[in-house]
């Protein structure tokens, strides 16, 4: 809780803006999520499930190449409609989506090693859309973003997961939380903050996707070196700060959270 909230002795209520009605997944077979009460400084992301939003983005953007960091058992990868590269040092592969006539590469490496391997350049892979959902520590996501942008095409888009934490317990840097089965967003929210401060050329749209948001970044520029130049400063200034010390209200005041459904409709019309 921020100091101001503490002094006022009350929590900041945030109005849910989305519609719990989903784009598909939750309406078709999935159980409706139990929406927890808004607690403290956090907000409820009551938009569609993030996988539904990603599915729509695939249908609208139709990337020739999709690149994913962090696949686990493939729930997000299963949404790919074209060629793809999946990067994860620990795949829990079930049945990978093998699409007729399309190419698929699984790089069983950390994302740092996968990008450093030169594989993407050798194969001529220039993703137009990506999903960065690997290690949920801010410096890892920052490197993933920098590396993704470097190999992407000009104007490519990418989505980031878990940048809207919903409790302070979830935004800890202690990844031992994963083994407990409790929700863990890690501290990747810091990357959104940094992009908003240092890359005004990017279009950063924060969406209300259930449960921890989805951030869609458009207009990537592979020639831009601002973030790599600032990387050491990012780590020094941001890595060890906790959200409550940074200011939860300060972070959430830095952007509007948009309705995923409206964003998708607008994007669909723009690409039609
Ligand atoms: C949250 S899961 C991905 C979930 C998946 N995207 C989905 O939506 O179903 C995170 C994954 O990141 C992977 N991961 C952890 N460290 C990584 C790293 N350094 N590079 C790439 N992936 C990593 C983990 O093995 C795990 O499978």
Instruction: Give pLDDT tens digits for 262-272.
Output: 999 999 999 99
144 lines ligand 1 (CB under 6 A): no
Quick one: which atom of ligand 1 is closest to the CA of 68? Answer: 6
pLDDT number for residue 38: 55
Question: What is the spatial distance between Cα 143 and Cα 14, in angstroms, rounded to a whole number?
Answer: 32
Ligand 1 centroid–CA 179 distance in Å is 14
Distance of CA 269 to the CA centre of its chain: 23
The per-residue pLDDT of the chain, averaged, comes to 88
Domains contained in the chain, number: 1
Q: Compare 22 and 105 and report the one with higher pLDDT.
A: 105
Percentage, residues of the chain above pLDDT 90: 74
Q: Which residue, judged by its Cα, is nearest atom 18 of ligand 1?
A: 110
Question: What is the spatial distance between Cα 12 and Cα 4, in angstroms, rounded to a whole number?
Answer: 10
* Rounded (10°) CA dihedral 229, 136, 49, 54: 40
CATH of the domain at 113: 3.40.50.150
Least confident piece of the model among 88-97, 126-135, 205-214: 88-97
Residues 142/191, Cβ–Cβ less than 8 Å: yes
pLDDT digits (tens, 9 = 90+) for 117-156: 999 999 999 999 999 999 999 999 999 999 999 999 999 9
Residue to mutate, 88, 97, 143, 183, ligand 1, most ligand atoms under 8 Å from C-beta: 88
Q: Compare 11 and 15 and report the one with higher pLDDT.
A: 15
Ligand 1 centroid–CA 135 distance in Å is 6
Residue to mutate, 108, 134, 141, ligand 1, most ligand atoms under 8 Å from C-beta: 134
Residues whose CB falls within 8 Å of the CB of residue 227, separated by 6 or more in sequence, listed in order:
142, 145, 146, 149, 194, 195, 198, 199, 234
Range of the domain at 247: 3-271
- Residue 51, pLDDT > 60, answer yes
* Global confidence as pTM: 0.91
75 lines ligand 1 (CB under 6 A): yes
């Amino acid at each position: 809780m921020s100091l101001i909230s503490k002094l006022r002795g009350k929590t900041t209520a945030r109005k849910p803006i989305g519609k719990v009605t989903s784009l598909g997944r939750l309406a078709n077979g999935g159980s409706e999520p139990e929406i927890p009460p808004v607690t403290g400084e956090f907000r409820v992301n009551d938009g569609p499930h993030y996988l539904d939003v990603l599915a729509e983005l695939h249908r609208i953007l139709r990337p020739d190449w999709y690149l994913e960091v962090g696949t686990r058992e493939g729930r997000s990868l299963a949404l790919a409609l074209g060629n793809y590269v999946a990067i994860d040092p620990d795949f829990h592969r079930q049945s990978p989506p093998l699409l007729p006539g399309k190419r698929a590469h699984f790089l069983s490496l950390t994302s740092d090693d996968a990008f450093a391997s030169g594989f993407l350049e050798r194969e001529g892979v220039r993703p137009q859309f990506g999903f960065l959902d690997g290690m949920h520590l801010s410096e890892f996501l920052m490197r993933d973003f920098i590396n993704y942008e470097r190999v992407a095409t000009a104007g490519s888009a990418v989505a980031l997961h878990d940048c809207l934490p919903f409790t302070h317990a979830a935004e800890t840097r202690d990844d031992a939380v994963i083994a407990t089965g409790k929700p863990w967003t890690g501290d990747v929210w810091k990357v959104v903050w940094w992009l908003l401060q240092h890359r005004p050329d990017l279009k950063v749209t924060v969406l209300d996707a259930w449960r921890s948001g989805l951030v869609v970044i458009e207009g990537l520029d592979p020639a831009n070196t601002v973030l790599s130049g600032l990387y050491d400063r990012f780590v020094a200034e941001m890595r060890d700060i906790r959200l409550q010390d940074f200011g939860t209200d300060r972070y959430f005041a830095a952007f509007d959270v948009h309705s995923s459904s409206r964003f998708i409709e607008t994007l669909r019309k723009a690409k039609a």
